[in-house]
A = this chain, B = another copy of it.
């Protein structure tokens, strides 16, 4: 037998038992000739005691040669620790194993970084190069375990709801959806290329046409983007599609699924249904379509309040069609005059006018506009911005064009949020955003583009507007946001060929091009495509939020750098000339500087 127990499970009840453990040597201590070390595996750590009298001199010399991270197999007897050496912080802290026999299964060079520092000070590239050591000595294993368990719970839930998990192809066709495709030359079809899927979108729609009724997949997806912070070229999504449903079915299924999997995996209670708001309302109240409801600093229209004052600069702006908008921050004591000056400067640098602010400390009002603010205005302001705590509140406001000042209010909000040190761990606020526009106008390319993807259905009542006013059309899409981060989105899809063609036409895709790229979808829509829709949730981000990590890299076993490289394997790498030839491609050296 290799081992009788794991390193995290022995306790007083095992006293007197002969046990065998395997693991890594951890923190060796020589206490007056008696050698203590811990033996560690994924499951925990157990203290081992070796007394010189139990071994020949030669054997004991070998024990003295042990080093950290060597792999050993030990045999010994479980003993209760003396009361003063009990360590109640670990499950095995009441016992130790008195060593009878040790076998070194493998040695180890000294680690390139200190274990205890693994998570903090070490350079990212070094951590990635020795990723296996970082995994061994950090919380990553636990993140991976939780991730796996969460995925399993998702499957458990969906399978109980009659969903079928279907593996869709990784080697597929280039069908640009927005991001760039990774491409794969086909050796058997010279000059032709596969593309790696940006999502299983079209395959899941085809499965619905195929009558599968309820599909899901925990699917690997690929996007060749210029990697912004915390993006990965490959990522995983929980991908779902259903037939004969509407928006509410998918929303309610998603809520129940998340509730089930989160509660079962993380022991975090999730209240459903989640709140929802329209895209317009999110933009107006939070200046963002991914509002963070943990800190609901809501923007309010203050135009009518200030119109009652004699503040000329504001009245002028309003007369020219502008509005006045602001929010209250109830922890005013955290904002100094200096802070206000800094915010004012940031607003001006971002192209804004002056920052308006009013501090309300009980009956004490401070503001550059103090003398123009009679008590009735203050009272109306208080009720408009909804001041809940009057010890010390500050109302910030700006005047001008709504879109512009909403952007600028976001700058103020960010500055203010930095003052709240409480990072609200374990608070999880979900919100659905609905009623998105179907198209947005790309002013650079002077054409409409799909806000979600071009397979998103417009609202039934807007279908007549394709040729008259596409900019005002609303879609049947919905996004789900957790703590200010978009974790997923979906829609009811188009299941009629003529509507799909109208969308392609509106985004400037000629029928010829559309047929070339998406002909197979258009064809499928002619053969009894049922009404269908679905959703995709980003697993990496979701796990990052639920484990309280600040980067998705901590939730992925072998992540890549921002340049898309893997310092561990040195991928991507050079390729043998022979393989390039077989694939009928050449490296375009002229382009490489």
Contacts and interface: CB of A to CB of B under 8 A. Distances in A.
Interface string A572-586: 111110011111111
Contact of A569 (B172, B181, B236): B172
B528 A106 contact: yes
Given A169-B566, A212-B135, A244-B3, A557 B108 contact: no
B184 A183 contact: yes
Interface stretch (A220-228, A316-324, A335-343, A386-394): A220-228
Contacts of A182: 171, 184, 194
Nearest to A135: B210
A257 interface: no
A182 to B, nearest CB: 5
A26 to B, nearest CB: 11
A298 interface: no
Contact of A583 (B141, B164, B183, B188): B183
Contacts of A222: 170-171
A493 to B, nearest CB: 12
Contact of A170 (B42, B209, B220, B573): B220
Contacts of A588: 580-581, 584-586
B109 A527 contact: yes
Given A166-B557, A192-B574, A496-B106, A592 B584 contact: yes
A362 interface: no
Given A528-B70, A583-B183, A164 B145 contact: yes
Interface string A210-239: 111110000010101011000001101000
Contacts of A520: 568-570
Interface in A523-579: 524, 526-531, 556-558, 560, 563-566, 568-576, 579
B189 A563 contact: yes
Contact of A586 (B183, B207, B558, B585): B585
A41 B173 CA distance: 29
B135 A211 contact: yes
A2 B141 contact: no
Given A170-B220, A174-B575, A587 B585 contact: yes
Contact of A149 (B141, B159, B183): B159
A60 interface: no
Given A191-B587, A584-B592, A133 B210 contact: yes
A186 interface: yes
A74 to B, nearest CB: 12
Interface string A166-206: 11111111110000111111111111111110000011001
A168 B315 CA distance: 61
A131 interface: yes
Given A180-B582, A244-B3, A234 B169 contact: yes
A144 interface: yes
Contacts of A568: 206, 520
A558 B185 contact: no
A171 B41 contact: no
A572 B173 contact: yes
25 contacts: A2-B531, A42-B214, A71-B528, A71-B530, A71-B531, A73-B244, A105-B530, A106-B496, A108-B528, A111-B527, A133-B210, A136-B210, A149-B159, A170-B170, A170-B196, A170-B220, A170-B234, A173-B566, A173-B573, A184-B196, A192-B573, A193-B573, A203-B558, A581-B591, A585-B587
Given A141-B164, A585-B585, 18 more contacts: A2-B246, A71-B530, A105-B531, A106-B530, A131-B210, A132-B207, A136-B210, A141-B210, A169-B558, A171-B564, A183-B185, A183-B579, A186-B572, A187-B224, A188-B226, A206-B558, A206-B568, A585-B588
Nearest 9 pairs between A and B by C-beta? A135-B210, A108-B528, A173-B571, A132-B210, A192-B572, A186-B572, A136-B211, A148-B165, A22-B244
